[in-house]
Each structure stands twice: as structure tokens, then as C-alpha cells.
Chains A and B, each alone.
Chain A
Amino acid sequence: MSIFIKYYKSGGLNVAFSNKIWRYNSTSADMAINKGEEEEEFRVLDILKKRQRQQRRVNRRADVQPDRADRMPTDQNWGNVWPGPKTFHPSSVPLPLRQGYVPKGQAPPGKKANAELMKIPNFLHLTPPVIKAQCEAIKQFCTEWPKLLNSEEAIENHYPVEIITSDYCHASPSIRNPLARIVTLRVKLSTLKLDQHARDKFIRLVGERYDPETDLVTITADRCPIRKQNQDYVNYLLTACYHESWNFEEWEREKMEEDMEYYNWDKNPSKRSLVNWYLKTQNQSKELSDEEYSNYDVSQIPNGEEYKVAVSSYMNDGESEGTVEKYGEAVRKLLGLPQKKVVS
């Protein structure tokens, strides 16, 4: 019990009310009034009651036994002690580790009660001997690799088609991942039996999925929800393209010179101009028809073959130093001009 005295601040309106003084009894006064006896001792006023709390703190902490790590023999099998991924526990790991950033001169905090050591992922469960033992245990489920498939070429030879799928692991309650349904099929075009026309048609059908540098056709499917369905779809696409490319449709006859995918010198104006020029030099200017142009035997024209080869390679293989040089040489030879001087 304590003595309370409360004052009201007279803020102008409270003048009418008298200042009230609230007073609660003190221990001694009350006791004296009520009992009137024990007035000899003045009891101590224990406001904060500190002492009682301190007495209860005596806990028997002697129940904690010494660390398990001290009793571990040095030649024990560590794989038995730490079989799986576990948060670091200082009394089970017999290593004197320290972790933490401290100013210069201090020692980093020890391994006990160190939350940083508990946070980092540890690989105490995957020491090299343990990995070896686990590999040995799994080997019983492994089969041998076929003997003849000992090089890349052999594999490509026997197994030309590749199917690429991905599996995903995530830390989540479910193992499903929508990205796992994507299936990619890769095959080298040279392994498929296609003639000139079929190859051209195949490439046109497949479009940009064909990579001319590596000669690979890559077909990807992800439109079905399940991987198996996507696999079937991809297989279907390959077979369909293949068969389609062997089919000859009527409308393919309408293929014009502009649609041609390679440069056929015989059908192009370059031959026409060469023949015309040749005929002019022979003083035989005739008007030949298209067919005659294409059938004209170029070997009559001196250096004509070379010119044909040079122009074809220039057009088909692309423009580069070599092709341009060759063209230049061929033209010089054709026109009888002297060769380029080689300045050494």
C-alpha cells in the first residue's frame, strides 16, 4: 500500500471544485488503527519485491552432460555420426570452428551458440568417403554402357535422334513444375534419306528450326500438359514432315526461279549473257530460246566452265574473298585479260 496524493490542475473551470487529496492508508497507520497491537517494529516497506524473485532463480543446471564430441574416438566412421543433412550442432561436431566478423585483435565467436554457423548450409553429410560408399551402394542398380558405343560418332551412327527433356527440383510441397513438359527433338538432316527435292521441301516445311551450320533440325513441343504427350507430338511432327517431303504435290510445279534455294547457273541470265557475248565474238548473233540457252554446251567457250563454276560458287557459297577472287580470275581468263600482278 502506498500513499497517493492526487492534485487537480485548476485550469480555470475547476475553481468551484475543491482540490481533492486522495490518500490511501499506509501500512503502519492502518494496522495501528485496527489492531493497535504490534506497534513495536516498523515494518520495512517492500515496494519492488526484488528479493523473492532472486530466490527462485536457483535452477539445477547440473543436468547437462559434457559434449558428445569429446567422447568421439578419432577413428570413428563419420558417415555414421552425420548420415543426412542436418543443421550444425556444436556438441556433435568435434571441430574447433569459429565464425563471425570481429574488429582486429579479437577472436571470432566460438562454435557454441553461434547462429551464423547454424545458418550456412553444411556438407558434413557428404564427406568424400561417404560419397564413395554411397556410390558403391547405388552401383548395384547400374547397368553397363553398351560396348560399341564408345565414341561420339558411334553414338550418332546408331542413335541419330536426340530427345531432350528437363526435370526440375524445387523446395515446395509439390514436385510438379510446368516447365518439365517441354520436349525437344534434334536430328541431323544428313541421317534422313532425302533426295534433292525432298530435302528442299523438308527444309522449307521445317523452316527456321533447321540450322544449316550444324545441319540439325530442332523441333520443340510444349503445347500439351504432359511430357509424354509432347513427346508423341514431336515424333509425329518429324514423321509427318518426312513423309510430306517425299510427296510431290501438283502445285509444286509452279516453282519459279525466284523460289529456288540454290543458284542454278544454267537457268540464269548469267549464262545467257555469256552465250550472247560468245556468239557476238564469233559474229553469230542469234536469238536463242530459253531452252537452247540452258542446253548450250559451255565447254565450247574457252574458260567457260571455269566461269560457270566461279559464278555458281559466288552465288551459292556467298560472297567472300575466295569466291570474288575466283570470279575475277575466271573473267580475266575469259576475256583474255592479263592476270593480276602478284606484288611480292
Chain B
Amino acid sequence: MKVSKSPWMLHYDGSSCNGCDIEVLACTMPRYDVERFGVINTGNPKHADILLITGGINAQNKPVVEQIYSQMPQPKVVVAVGICACNGGVFKDCYNILGGVDTVLPVDIYVPGCAAKPEAIIDGVIQAVALLDEKRKSVREDKKEAGQ
């Protein structure tokens, strides 16, 4: 059974303007309904497979993002939603902004846009899901190697 059949997601709002957050929530609403793909918005890193971050990383939320990521069980993927999460966006040069999510975490999927469109977000999530299966495989192979 593939992990991708049941991707549970954790939505974290970095220093977003809330534009992308509203679009993320729109994905779970009747018009887009990501639950069609088994996606559940868990709100708990220990249950999540996908960490979906909107907004850039600033000095204050850096340790929080790192901690949440560390609490997620393997395999896991990170999706940066919106241009701010991708590289800092319009806030890039602010004194408190460190940059995009990739300044602290290994980002797997970038979903650009300001705000990112629901279609784009869903597309990103689906790609992330495909990646989960690959990671799952590599985790297994790592284990096998370690076993030998």
C-alpha cells in the first residue's frame, strides 16, 4: 500500500500575509475538496506526512519550524506555498526575514504565486505525495543496507 494514498498534512503559517493561508483553507472546502485524495489537515506534526508552510521564515519562527519538522515521523516532505515561502517574496529584504523555508528546512516542492492558487497548491501536494512513496522506498533500502 502506498503512503501516497493517505497524505496527512500539517499547515504552518510562517510570516505570511494570510493570503496563501486562505487559499490553503479553500482547498479543503467543497469547491476543491482535497479530501478526495485522502488529504487530512491534521494540525499535529506527529500525525503529519506533509509539512505545508506559507510565508517566509523570520528569526522568531525559525526554531519553531525546526522543532515541528523534527517531531514529524519519517518519511516526510516539505511543501513551500507562495512566493514568500519559496524565497522570502516581497519581505525578502526586511530586517527580520531570513528568507524562504529552504533557509532552515530541506524543501521538496515549491509552489509559487502571490497568493498561490488552490489549483497550484493541490498540484504541489499531489507531487509531494508522489515524493513520499519514493522516500518511503529509500527509507526501506537504507534499512536493508543497515541490516546487512
Tell me, yes or no, whether A binds B.
Answer: no
Using a CB–CB cutoff of 8 Å, the interface residues on chain A facing chain B are none
